[in-house]
Amino acid sequence: MTFKISDFKSQIDRLGGPMRQSLFEVQIVNFPVNTSSVTTRDLSFFCKNVAIPGITMGLNSYEAVGQQRRMYPTSLNPEPVQAIFMLDSNHQILSFFHSWAQRVVNYSTVGGNFSEVDGMLPFEIGYKNEYSCRIIIKAYSTDYLTTGKYYETILDGGFPGMLGDVDLAWEANDSYSTLPISFQYDRIQFSGERVGSPTSRYGRGNGILGLIDAIGDFGQLIGQDLVPRGITDAVNKYTKVTNNFDNISNRINEIKNIF
């Protein structure tokens, strides 16, 4: 098949063109503490760059004699969000992040070893709901002004887990200072993910959790009074026991197929 630039361009244009790295915005919503004059809008403008976090899965191996080793996931390891903020000459951005970090862990001993800041002694760790907030990363489409499209990443329970060094140098006369931040979070949400339903109890497919769920239902039934109160009740109990045995058997067979 002959390669044509026009075909390549048409396929790219069909999806709105390449994603531009420069079309983004970071919003830190309802931050818990602020001793500066910085606003959410200011932080959006001063954020020089940010990374949409990756998804890293913890893996383990299954090795059987005479077979190729196979890998399977065992956990989900959230990646921290790396961002770099430009610093202003009035030091308001730097003051904002230092006061936020002090809300996480009170690192100050200026007032003495027993001096409190917002009720926290030196090196005391704050409560999560008092220093965490929501962080939103928006990557805008090139035609955002006409379509309003953007890809959103929402971080709940976000807080600065690391404040990097601020480099200063005599020879850097034409450069500006920046502050690298590593954000941690409790939960992440992407625009492209599927939303689950709590009613789909056995919709997981293969997996040990489905087996545990089925066994749990059967265990609950065993803990109840098994003496039927009538013909209808007897039929219902028999049907439920049979269904749970079938569910357990199906889960065991599915797990055997995995290995």
Task: Give me the residue spans of the domains in the chain.
Answer: 5-190, 208-258
Cβ(63)–Cβ(69) below 8 Å: yes
* Percent of the chain predicted with pLDDT > 70: 75
Asked whether residue 68 carries a pLDDT value surpassing 60, the answer given is: yes
Mean pLDDT over 112-126 rounds to 82
> What global pTM score does this model have?
0.70
42-46, 96-100, 121-125, 240-244: segment of lowest average pLDDT: 240-244
Structure tokens at 141: 């489409």
pLDDT of residue 199: 55
Q: How do beta strands 81-86 and 47-50 pair? A: antiparallel
Give the architecture-level CATH label for domain 5-190: Roll (2.30)
Select the highest-mean-pLDDT range: 115-129, 189-203, 216-230.
115-129
74-78, 176-180, 229-233: segment of lowest average pLDDT: 229-233
Mean pLDDT over 167-184 rounds to 93
Residues in Cβ contact with 112 at an 8 Å cutoff, skipping those fewer than 6 apart: none
Asked whether residue 73 carries a pLDDT value surpassing 70, the answer given is: yes
Cα–Cα distance, 29 to 53 (Å, whole number): 18
- What secondary structure letter does DSSP report for 247? H
Asked whether residue 155 carries a pLDDT value surpassing 80, the answer given is: yes
Mean pLDDT over 140-149 rounds to 89
Residue 208 phi/psi, 5-degree rounding, is -70, -25
Cα–Cα distance, 62 to 21 (Å, whole number): 40
Asked whether residue 52 carries a pLDDT value surpassing 90, the answer given is: yes
